[in-house]
C-alpha cells in the first residue's frame, strides 16, 4: 500500500514481540526492521521466512531512509537516549510505558519532539480498549454526572520485580487510565501513598495511593503483589450513575448502575441549621455491549493517524509525563510515611537548553 508508513521496532524482549505482531498486521504500517543487540532473539521474533530485516545497531537503523518511525520497547532507562537520537534523525517515536526513567528525562523527550516537529506517543495500552473508551465518553458526556469517587484495584499473586516497587510496576496502568478518562487529564493537587513490605523484599509489595480529584471527589488505587486472587476492577461513582469496570469479565466488562445516595437539606430551627435528609436511589443496572478488539491494533492505527493528520495522539508525551510526575510524588510520599506530596511536572525543555 502506497500510503503505508514504514516503522521499525527497537527491542525484541518482553513487549517488543507484541508490537512486532501488531505493526506487521496493520494496514497503516509496513514493518521494515526489528533492532536488538541480541541478533538471535530478533530473528526469532521476525521468523525464519520473514522479509522483515534484523538490525543490531541503533545508529545504523536510524540512518535508514526507509524508516519513518520507531517503536521503542527497551528498558526504561534507555527510552530517553533512544528517543532523542530518533528525533535527531527525523523519526516519529512510540515508547512503551513508562515514558522514561524520570520525569525530567520525559520532559526532555516532549521538548525534543516539538522541536523536531515529530509525533511522540506513549503506549498506554489500556486507553485503546473499548471499555476504557466507553468510560471516557460516559464521563465526558455527563452520563455519570459529577465524579464523586474512583476506586481502582489491581491485585494478584505477581512477580516481585527486582528494580521497582509495586507502585511503579502496577499503578502506571491505573494512572494512565485516569489520565485518559478524566477531563483535563491527571492533575491531582497532592498524592498520598502508603505501602508495606511484609516479605522483607526491600520494597513495597502492597500499596495504596490516594489523590483528590478536581471535581472535589477522591481517587484511590490499590496495588498488590501478594493476593492469591487476581482483580482488575475500577468503580467510577457519579452523582447520577455508577460505573463498574471488571476487566476480567469479557461477557460484562462494563456495568452501569442507576443507584446512589441523594442528600437534601432542610431548615431545622430558626437559625437555619442544615440537617441532611438521605434518600436512596435504587434504579436499574445495564451492561452495554462492547466490541472486542485488540488494544494494540487500535494503538497502532492511532499512531499512524496522528502522524498523517499532524496532531497529537490520544496518549501523547504529555500524558506520559503527567503519569511519571504522579509516580515520583508517590515515591516521595511513601518515604514520608504517607504525607501528601504535590506532583511536580518539569517544564518541557531540551537537555542542555
Give yes or no for residue 270 having a pLDDT over 50: no
Give yes or no for residue 52 having a pLDDT over 90: yes
Please, what is the average pLDDT of the chain? 92
Site of grid cell 516539538: 114
Asked whether residue 112 falls in the same domain as residue 132, the answer is no
Give yes or no for residue 288 having a pLDDT over 70: yes
pLDDT score of 169? 94
Over residues 173-212, the pLDDT tens digits come to 999 999 999 999 999 999 999 999 999 999 999 999 999 9
Over residues 125-174, the pLDDT tens digits come to 999 999 999 999 999 999 999 999 999 999 999 888 888 999 999 999 99
Asked whether residue 172 falls in the same domain as residue 243, the answer is yes
User: 321 burial class (0-12, 13-18, 19+ CB within 10 angstroms)?
Assistant: buried
pLDDT band at 2 (very low <50, low <70, confident <90, very high): low
pLDDT band at 349 (very low <50, low <70, confident <90, very high): low
Residue 340 inside a domain? The answer is no
Asked whether residue 174 falls in the same domain as residue 115, the answer is no
Residue 247 inside a domain? The answer is yes
Give yes or no for residue 14 having a pLDDT over 70: yes
pLDDT band at 263 (very low <50, low <70, confident <90, very high): low
Asked whether residue 184 falls in the same domain as residue 151, the answer is yes
Count the domains in the chain.
2
pLDDT score of 342? 96
Asked whether residue 182 falls in the same domain as residue 147, the answer is yes
Separation between Cα atoms, residue 110 and residue 97, nearest integer Å: 14
Residue 347 inside a domain? The answer is no
Residue 252 inside a domain? The answer is yes
Separation between Cα atoms, residue 329 and residue 335, nearest integer Å: 10
Residue 334 inside a domain? The answer is no
Residue 342 inside a domain? The answer is no
| Phi then psi dihedrals of residue 33, to 5 deg | -160, 155
Residue 349 inside a domain? The answer is no
Asked whether residue 131 falls in the same domain as residue 265, the answer is yes
- Does this model's pTM top 0.75? My answer is yes
Asked whether residue 246 falls in the same domain as residue 102, the answer is no
Over residues 40-51, the pLDDT tens digits come to 999 999 998 889
Over residues 59-96, the pLDDT tens digits come to 999 999 999 999 999 999 999 999 999 999 999 999 99
Share of the chain above pLDDT 90, in %: 84
Asked whether residue 171 falls in the same domain as residue 97, the answer is no
Give yes or no for residue 323 having a pLDDT over 60: yes
Share of the chain above pLDDT 70, in %: 92
Asked whether residue 119 falls in the same domain as residue 131, the answer is no
Separation between Cα atoms, residue 304 and residue 209, nearest integer Å: 35
Asked whether residue 43 falls in the same domain as residue 185, the answer is no
pLDDT score of 48? 84
Give yes or no for residue 259 having a pLDDT over 80: no
pLDDT band at 280 (very low <50, low <70, confident <90, very high): low
Which domain CATH number covers 310?
Answer: 3.40.50.720
Residue 36 inside a domain? The answer is yes
pLDDT score of 352? 41
Average pLDDT (243-259) is 94
Structural domain span for residue 223: 127-286
Separation between Cα atoms, residue 219 and residue 221, nearest integer Å: 7
Asked whether residue 229 falls in the same domain as residue 184, the answer is yes
Asked whether residue 105 falls in the same domain as residue 178, the answer is no
pLDDT score of 215? 83
| Phi then psi dihedrals of residue 223, to 5 deg | -130, 145
Which domain CATH number covers 243?
Answer: 3.30.360.10
Residue 108 · residue 80 · CB < 8 Å: yes
pLDDT score of 353? 39
> Nearest-5° angle of CA 6, CA 307, CA 44?
35
- Helix H, strand E, coil C: the string for 43-60 is HHHHCCCCCCEEECCHHH
Amino acid at each position: 500500500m502506497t500510503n503505508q508508513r514504514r516503522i521499525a521496532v527497537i527491542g525484541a524482549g518482553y513487549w517488543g514481540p507484541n508490537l512486532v505482531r501488531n505493526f506487521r498486521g496493520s494496514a497503516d504500517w509496513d514493518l521494515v526492521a526489528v533492532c536488538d543487540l541480541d541478533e538471535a532473539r530478533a530473528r526469532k521474533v521476525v521468523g525464519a521466512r520473514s522479509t522483515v530485516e534484523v538490525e543490531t545497531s541503533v545508529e545504523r537503523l536510524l540512518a535508514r531512509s526507509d524508516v519513518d518511525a520507531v517503536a521503542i520497547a527497551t528498558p526504561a532507562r534507555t527510552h530517553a537516549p533512544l528517543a532523542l537520537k530518533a528525533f535527531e534523525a527525523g523519526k516519529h517515536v512510540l515508547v512503551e510505558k513508562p515514558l522514561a526513567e524520570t520525569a525530567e528525562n520525559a520532559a526532555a523527550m516532549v521538548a525534543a519532539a516539538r522541536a523536531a516537529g515529530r509525533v511522540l506517543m506513549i503506549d498506554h495500552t489500556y486507553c485503546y480498549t473499548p471499555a476504557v473508551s466507553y468510560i471516557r465518553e460516559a464521563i465526558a458526556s455527563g452520563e455519570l454526572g459529577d465524579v464523586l469517587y474512583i476506586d481502582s484495584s489491581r491485585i494478584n499473586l505477581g512477580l516481585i520485580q527486582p528494580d521497582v516497587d509495586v507502585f511503579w510496576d502496577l499503578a502506571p496502568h491505573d494512572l494512565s487510565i485516569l489520565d485518559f478518562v478524566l477531563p483535563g487529564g491527571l492533575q491531582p493537587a497532592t498524592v498520598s501513598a502508603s505501602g508495606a513490605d511484609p516479605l522483607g523484599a526491600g520494597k513495597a509489595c502492597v500499596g495504596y495511593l490516594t489523590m483528590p480529584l478536581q471535581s472535589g471527589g477522591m481517587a484511590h488505587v490499590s496495588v498488590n503483589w501478594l493476593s492469591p486472587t487476581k482483580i482488575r476492577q475500577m468503580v467510577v461513582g457519579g452523582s447520577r450513575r455508577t460505573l463498574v469496570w471488571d476487566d476480567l469479565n469479557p461477557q460484562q466488562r462494563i456495568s452501569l448502575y442507576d443507584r446512589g445516595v441523594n442528600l437534601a437539606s432542610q431548615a431545622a430551627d430558626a437559625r437555619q441549621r442544615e440537617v441532611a435528609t438521605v434518600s436512596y436511589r435504587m434504579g436499574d443496572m445495564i451492561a452495554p455491549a462492547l466490541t472486542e478488539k485488540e488494544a494494540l491494533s487500535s494503538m497502532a492505527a492511532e499512531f499512524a493517524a496522528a502522524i498523517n493528520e499532524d496532531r497529537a495522539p490520544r496518549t501523547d508525551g504529555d500524558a506520559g509525563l503527567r503519569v511519571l510526575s504522579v509516580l515520583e510524588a508517590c515515591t516521595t510520599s511513601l518515604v514520608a510515611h504517607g504525607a501528601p506530596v504535590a506532583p511536580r511536572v518539569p517544564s518541557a525543555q531540551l537537555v542542555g537548553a
